[in-house]
């Protein structure tokens, strides 16, 4: 153990000095959500600052970082199986460091399992301790023993850590961490702790730097962005960012329906030049009984009122949602209530999930678990309803010209994939050099989940 506590930046310098000019490489493997993607960019940024270059494969790496997800048991099993594949590598290369980071090692039973059954895991870091990466690497390189780090209950947010963004044209910016909501099916509050918000000045500086560096699509991230409480509320933060100069569009996720404020809706409407006309509002269920069992703390009526306000303020706003199918106690009547809301609202996109019990959450031990066949049948019905709606909403795009941020290569040669301001996926023929730029595309074909079109001009 290192006696004197240095800052993360000082530890990074110390590791870099330890390596000198000897080449070292890091491989980062990310499981789970956008928050984990964003966290991995920080882990990677810190590794670079310590002198690690990127390794193309695990075999080339001296440090393997696995950023894990605990949202479903299945996600954890995938990580454990991946870890199993690294055992032989560690035997071949004893100096290899393997770190398991993120939500999985925030659970005591998983840490015990990693300690006992995976002796080649060199260290763990829970989500609140990621800034300890340089310190842990430093102590291990200096001969220290395996480390299993769990953070304090409400640690201060470490600002100024380096970040290795995967692409230049779009970025996630975490504005807060943790969650206070305790939805009955969700493990997040147990593994990511209570809400902690960054100061608005730090967020603004980060956005300014991104925009100056050519970033055109910025998504503010938080488990429930509506409960952002830095030195202002979320609506005020959005307004401050939307007033920054530059050619960018602003998105956010995720928004809890119980906390959407009228002020946020008016800020979105007033700053339509910057704030994307898209709102992801997770419904989860259209049945008030099920919403109560989920501890969501809104009703279907309140949800529909919010949708009405959004549409009144921004008639062309795109709405997307999350639905859990087969939550414990969900009857045919409850499920039909969900379908009714879906048909009434007409979401552009639905992310639907079959309920699966998550150990450690209240819902996992609730009575009346819905059997797998009923869950699957309901999911099929939901998908059929949503397919029709998605196609119905996509069709009016034909012959319209839309602004698209070219994002990546499509599956076919010469075709790029991008997103409209409303977050619709668009495929169009264009040179690869256009990736990262806004383009205007005339839509020629509509499919439920993608549009196809022709490039009108590069800007």
Which one, of 100, 131, 133, lies nearest residue 118 by Cα?
Answer: 100
Least gap, CB of 183 to ligand SF4 (angstroms) = 3
The count of other CB atoms within 10 Å of the CB of residue 360 is: 13
Pattern of binders to ligand SF4 over 82-121, x per CB under 6 A? ----------------------------------------
Q: Does 223 bind ligand SF4 (CB under 6 A)?
A: yes
Nearer CB in complex with ligand SF4: 182/449? 182
Nearer CB in complex with ligand SF4: 207/221? 221
- Contact predicate 338/286, CB 8 Å: yes
Which one, of 206, 169, 257, 154, lies nearest residue 42 by Cα?
Answer: 206
Least gap, CB of 257 to ligand SF4 (angstroms) = 10
Least gap, CB of 294 to ligand SF4 (angstroms) = 8
Nearer CB in complex with ligand SF4: 171/283? 283
Nearer CB in complex with ligand SF4: 8/178? 178
Least gap, CB of 181 to ligand SF4 (angstroms) = 4
List the one residue from 170, 256, 278, 378 that touches ligand SF4 (CB under 6 A).
256
Which DSSP string do the residues of 48-77 spell out, in sequence order?
HHTTEEEPSSGGG-SEEEEEE--SSHHHHH
Nearer CB in complex with ligand SF4: 282/329? 282
Q: How far apart are CA 432 and CA 27, in angstroms?
A: 27
Least gap, CB of 109 to ligand SF4 (angstroms) = 20
Element (H, E) at 378: helix 372-394
Encoded tokens for 410:
């499509």
Q: Does 227 bind ligand SF4 (CB under 6 A)?
A: no
Pattern of binders to ligand SF4 over 180-209, x per CB under 6 A? -xxx--x-xx--------------------
Helices (H), 20-56: 34-49
Nearer CB in complex with ligand SF4: 179/337? 179
Least gap, CB of 219 to ligand SF4 (angstroms) = 16
List binders of ligand SF4 among 164-183 (CB under 6 A): 179, 181-183
Least gap, CB of 224 to ligand SF4 (angstroms) = 5
Instruction: Determine if the peptide bond prior to 254 is cis (ω within 30°).
Output: yes
Nearer CB in complex with ligand SF4: 180/209? 180
Strands laid side by side in the 217-221 sheet: 170-174, 217-221, 249-253
Q: Is 257 exposed, middle or buried (0-12, 13-18, 19+ CB in 10 A)?
A: buried
Q: How many CA atoms lie within 13 A of 103 on its CB side?
A: 26
Nearer CB in complex with ligand SF4: 259/421? 259
Q: How far apart are CA 201 and CA 132, in angstroms?
A: 24
Q: How far apart are CA 404 and CA 441, in angstroms?
A: 7
Can you give the binding site for ligand SF4, defined by CB under 6 A? 179, 181-183, 186, 188-189, 223-224, 256
């Amino acid at each position: 153990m290192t006696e004197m506590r240095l800052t993360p930046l000082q530890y990074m310098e110390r590791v870099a000095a330890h390596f000198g000019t000897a080449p070292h490489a890091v491989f980062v493997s990310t499981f789970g959500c956008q928050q984990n993607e964003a966290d991995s960019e920080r882990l990677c940024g810190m590794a670079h600052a310590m002198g690690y270059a990127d390794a193309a494969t695990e075999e080339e790496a001296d440090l393997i970082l696995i950023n894990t997800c605990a949202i479903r048991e299945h996600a954890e099993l995938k990580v454990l199986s991946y870890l199993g594949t690294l055992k032989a590598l560690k035997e071949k290369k004893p100096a290899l460091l393997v770190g398991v980071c993120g939500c999985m090692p925030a659970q005591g039973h998983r840490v015990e399992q990693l300690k006992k059954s995976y002796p080649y895991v060199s260290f763990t870091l829970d989500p609140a301790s990621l800034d300890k990466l340089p310190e842990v690497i430093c102590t291990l390189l200096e001969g220290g023993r395996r480390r299993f780090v769990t953070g304090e209950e409400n640690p201060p947010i470490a600002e100024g850590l380096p970040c290795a963004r995967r692409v230049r044209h779009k970025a996630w910016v975490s504005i807060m961490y943790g969650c206070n909501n305790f939805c009955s099916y969700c493990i997040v509050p147990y593994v990511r702790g209570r809400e902690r918000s960054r100061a608005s000045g730090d967020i603004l500086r980060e956005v300014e730097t991104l925009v100056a560096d050519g970033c055109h699509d910025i998504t503010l991230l938080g488990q429930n962005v509506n409960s952002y409480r830095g030195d202002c509320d979320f609506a005020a933060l959005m307004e401050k960012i939307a007033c920054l100069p530059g050619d960018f569009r602003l998105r956010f996720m995720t928004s809890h329906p119980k906390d959407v404020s009228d002020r946020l809706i008016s800020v979105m409407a007033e700053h339509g030049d910057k704030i994307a006309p898209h709102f992801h509002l997770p419904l989860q269920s259209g049945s008030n009984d099920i919403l109560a069992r989920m501890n969501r703390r809104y009703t279907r009526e309140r949800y529909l009122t919010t949708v009405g306000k959004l549409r009144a303020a921004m008639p062309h706003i795109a709405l997307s949602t999350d639905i859990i199918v087969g939550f414990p106690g969900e009857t045919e009547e409850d499920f039909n209530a969900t379908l009714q809301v879906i048909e009434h609202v007409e979401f552009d996109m639905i992310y639907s999930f079959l309920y699966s019990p998550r150990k450690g959450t209240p819902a996992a031990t609730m009575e009346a678990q819905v059997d797998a066949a009923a869950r699957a049948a309901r999911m099929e019905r939901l998908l059929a309803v949503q397919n029709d709606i998605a196609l119905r909403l996509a069709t009016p795009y034909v012959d319209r010209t839309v602004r698209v941020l070219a994002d990546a290569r499509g599956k076919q040669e010469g075709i790029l994939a991008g997103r409209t301001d409303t977050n619709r996926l668009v495929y169009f023929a264009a040179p690869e050099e256009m990736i990262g730029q806004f383009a205007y595309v005339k839509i020629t074909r509509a499919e439920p989940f993608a549009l196809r079109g022709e490039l009108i001009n590069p800007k």
